Amino acid sequence: MSIARRLALVSGALVGLTSLGQAQQPTITINSAVYYDQTGYSRSCDFNLTCANDQCNDITIQNGICPKINDPANGGNKEAAIVYTCSWSGVPADQKLLFRSVRKINVTAEHVTAHISCVGQPPLPASAETIKISSAVYGQPGAGHKTCSFGNLAESQCNEATSCTFPAHGGAPSLNWLCGDPDVGNRDKHAVIEFTCLQPNGDTASGPTKVDAREAGALTVACPVGQ
């Protein structure tokens, strides 16, 4: 593609973003809503959430939010992770190839009110790269050590997004909440995610790439790599 053509596409996208933001309000779709213990994601329950048009306000994160389980963690420190997608309809025909829906996540602590909104969210440029998780493992690989997989968690929060982060939790912050403590007493555990960055047509833009965090750290995945 010529430099002139690339510049024209970028210029068109910028103009389109401005006009789209002024003329269109995005709609919101809830992908998942999970209430879980900060020290163990396995102690969790799913809850239902329906949003009107472009936002959900005043969602109180507390015991009883799940329809069948009052407290999934018996008094533990809990939070909720809500994954949602903002989409734009009625995009002018000359701009449809410039924009994509954007996938977001909101993490809110227990006893705090969550606000989920697409208002003011810009759509992704059509050229944006998104994440596809290949594997997610926590522990210390090698003879005599054990690991556990948090692939389902990583996929639910990262796939189709441009970034996602998993922080250490608890009084003595650790990443044990990802899938439990697979190697009790070992303080040299790591969380490792392997992922690829995908182009809009599904082709690989880069990767596979690995990111690593120690037990008390925060693990971040982002596309493009290094952003």
pLDDT of 15 above 50: no
Same domain, 1 and 72: yes
Same domain, 159 and 214: yes
Could you report the per-residue pLDDT of 172-203, keeping only the tens digit for each? 888 999 988 888 878 789 999 999 999 887 88
Residue 131: phi and psi, rounded to 5, are -85, 140
Could you report the per-residue pLDDT of 127-169, keeping only the tens digit for each? 889 999 999 999 987 767 788 999 999 998 899 889 999 999 8
Same domain, 116 and 134: no
Same domain, 80 and 186: no
Buried b (16+ CB within 10 A) or exposed e, 193-211: bbbbbbeeeeeebebebee
Under 8 Å CB-to-CB from 128, ≥6 apart: which residues?
Answer: 100, 162, 200, 223
Same domain, 59 and 149: no
Same domain, 122 and 192: no
> Cβ(220)–Cβ(154) under 8 Å?
no
Same domain, 113 and 213: no
Number of domains in the chain: 2
Q: What is the pLDDT of residue 27?
A: 83
Same domain, 153 and 215: yes
CA distance 76 to 151: 23
Which of 105, 127, 149 terminates a domain? The answer is: 127
Which of 127, 147, 177 terminates a domain? The answer is: 127
> Cβ(83)–Cβ(32) under 8 Å?
yes
Query: Which range is least confidently modeled, 26-30, 59-63, 87-91, 108-112?
Result: 87-91
pLDDT of 6 above 70: no
Same domain, 149 and 221: yes
Could you report the per-residue pLDDT of 91-129, keeping only the tens digit for each? 666 665 567 788 888 899 999 998 888 887 777 777 889
pTM for this entry:
0.75
What is the span of the domain harbouring residue 104? 1-127
CA distance 104 to 28: 10
Dig out the tokens for 32 from the structure. Answer: 């998942």
Same domain, 117 and 146: no
